[in-house]
Structure 1
Amino acid sequence: MAASSLSLNWVSTTSCKKLNLPHSKELPRDAAFCLRNTITCSRETASNDESNCKRRLLLLKIGALTASASLLPASPLFAEEIPKNYRAFVDSADGYSYYYPADWREFDFRAHDSAFKDRYLQLQNVRVRFIPTVKTDIHDMGPMEEVISNLVRHRYAAPNQVADIMEMKEKTVDGKHYYTFEYELTSPNFSTTSFATIAIANGRYYTLIVGANTRRWRRYRELLRVVADSFKVLDI
């Protein structure tokens, strides 16, 4: 999940799993976008040559993405245009997608499959995880109010936190059911407010959480709601 880095001794790798799509771009959900060309820079490469080498790799990646977008057919994955100032994250291998603010950066969040955060506000982030389950639908977990209350108060809240649930709703998209809810966790020194969306598909229980410091929640609430509402599970 961590973003790849370049050093004085690197080799480009082939990636067929996750796609970050910019505003207004789309690719089919079953597309296997692979960079198969390999460029190598040795430790003895001079600084100018190293820069040229990196530039060639960047151009190669851009060219491959452009070619893939033009050759592959249109997809209903994003039937609506990606909202302005957002990007789309698509994990066709693990079966989910969502939007995130375009200026956020990818980072590693322990035990999660993907995560992005504001570059300046560390508590303002989105993360997704999934675990195996024998259930086939979110309704199998029980009534919405009971499921969400149990999650927030007994799974999300730490022993020293007070949990408060402000909103909960259910929606159905393409025959798949989702619970989305807003909640606040208050600690002695600070509090956070978040949206969470949960769903079950592909033998997995998926959870997306996007949140911020409670002091900033009113300002960023609607921006983060777009992220929570955009979460979709895909057939794999």
Structure 2
Amino acid sequence: MVCLQQSFLHCIPHTFLSTSSPQVNNNGISWKRVSVLVRAEQVSSQDRISKRQLLAFGTCFPGILLFTETPSSFAAEPRKNFLSVSDKKDGYEFLYPFGWQEVAIQGQDKVFKDVIEPLESVSVNILPTAKQDIREFGPPDQVAETLIKKVLAPPTQKTKLIQAKEHEADGKTYYTFEFLAQAPNYTRHALSAICINNGKFYTLTTGANERRWDKMKDRLNTVIDSFKVFKESSMVDYGN
């Protein structure tokens, strides 16, 4: 078996922000240059006030969807303070905190973020693969280290893997891991879940500024634990 580290070095570009045509390697994954982490842009005081008012308006009128793209199917709220998204086309679902808004990020299938704390976000990236199981790429810590360094953080950031583990749900193997990505002006504390299903390599990543980790960690773990992939035959129609 070709070493995962070597294969990722060949197929994942070192530049981080631009997109390019897919590249197919011997491991069967077609990688694109994608922007995974949402940048921590500066928000003026006036802009913060207007965004808070917008969130308040959406809370008072929950039937109004404040999205930049056509939304996926939404189920009834399964848990207090969380909303559920189910993408029937690509076969995945997860929960995200109430109040986060959907935004368009080039190279990402789905992104939700807090408009006031932009490092608090969840993103889903999907790439084609010929592999059938995530374990074909190696153990959780090895796969996590490679993804963090080559995909999930810019090369200018210092990264640290905290833990990585494996679990199964409905016959599918998932790897989940926790890591830090340190930039000059902030540190992002992040969680990721990866899985292979239907010829696709799924990566879901969520996180927050390290200074808010203690406040956000339970909610972010709920996001990670809720991530599931499914086959077309088991896709549920939520009325859209």
The TM-score, its normalising length taken from structure 1, stands at 0.67
State yes or no: 1:19 paired with 2:73.
yes
CA distance in structure 2 between the aligned counterparts of 1:122 and 1:104, rounded to whole angstroms: 10
State yes or no: 1:133 paired with 2:129.
yes
Identity score, percent: 37
The residue type equivalent to 2:74 in the other structure is: N
Q: Match for residue 81 of structure 2?
A: 85
Deviation at 1:152, TM superposition (A): 1.3
Number of residue pairs matched by the alignment: 167
| Matched-pair contact (CA < 8 Å) for 2:149–2:155 | no
CA distance in structure 2 between the aligned counterparts of 1:22 and 1:101, rounded to whole angstroms: 14
CA distance in structure 1 between the aligned counterparts of 2:97 and 2:76, rounded to whole angstroms: 10
SS of 2:166's equivalent? strand
| Matched-pair contact (CA < 8 Å) for 2:190–2:207 | yes
1:25-73 deviation digits (Å, cap 9, x = unpaired): xxxxxxxxxxxxxxxxxxxxxxxxxxxxxxxxxxxxxxxxxxxxxxxxx
Q: Match for residue 198 of structure 1?
A: 194
Deviation at 1:4, TM superposition (A): 6.1
Q: Which runs of 5+ in 1 are unaligned?
A: 6-14, 24-81
CA distance in structure 1 between the aligned counterparts of 2:113 and 2:225, rounded to whole angstroms: 17
CA distance in structure 2 between the aligned counterparts of 1:102 and 1:204, rounded to whole angstroms: 28
The structure with more radius of gyration: 1
| Matched-pair contact (CA < 8 Å) for 2:68–2:104 | no
| Matched-pair contact (CA < 8 Å) for 1:210–1:227 | yes
| Matched-pair contact (CA < 8 Å) for 1:160–1:188 | no
The TM-score, its normalising length taken from structure 2, stands at 0.66
State yes or no: 1:147 paired with 2:201.
no
The residue type equivalent to 1:174 in the other structure is: D
1:182-193 equivalence runs, <5 A:
182-193=178-189
Deviation at 1:89, TM superposition (A): 0.2
| Matched-pair contact (CA < 8 Å) for 1:106–1:117 | yes
1:219-230 equivalence runs, <5 A:
219-230=215-226
SS of 2:163's equivalent? strand
CA distance in structure 1 between the aligned counterparts of 2:184 and 2:68, rounded to whole angstroms: 38
Deviation at 1:18, TM superposition (A): 2.1
Q: Which runs of 5+ in 2 are unaligned?
A: 1-65, 233-240
Q: Match for residue 209 of structure 2?
A: 213
